[in-house]
Amino acid sequence: MACNLYYVIAMSIDHESKSIVQLKEVVASVERMYILQALEEMNWIQSRAAKRLGITQRMMGYKIKKYRIILKQNQKGGRKDEEVNKNF
């Protein structure tokens, strides 16, 4: 699983004021990208994506809610499109 860290860092710089966004925002952005990539690779099956990332299914569910990730239906008839916890 590859992530273009240089791209994330470049996007975290406010080019008008030349200030750098806080580290926690960059880390959150990278984490969200990794979760999305794992979900796509594992056909949107959360348990497999969690295993791929080395985290528990419970932690995966927490992070999906935290980052407001929209789940897509997997090809085998899994969950339909929905936004997880709209009021988070």
Question: Considering its fold, how many domains does the chain have in total?
Answer: 1
Collapsing DSSP to helix, strand or coil, 43 comes out as coil
- The C-alpha atoms of residue 27 and residue 30 are separated, in whole angstroms, by 5
Longest C-alpha distance within the chain, in Å?
48
Q: Decide if 34 is inside a domain.
A: yes
Q: Decide if 54 is inside a domain.
A: yes
pLDDT value, residue 55: 98
CATH classification at residue 16: 1.10.10.60
- The C-alpha atoms of residue 83 and residue 68 are separated, in whole angstroms, by 7
Which tens digit of pLDDT belongs to each residue from 4-52? 666 666 666 666 666 667 888 888 989 999 999 999 999 999 999 999 9
Beta strands in 1-88 (DSSP E): 13-14, 19-20, 70-71, 82-83
Q: Decide if 88 is inside a domain.
A: no
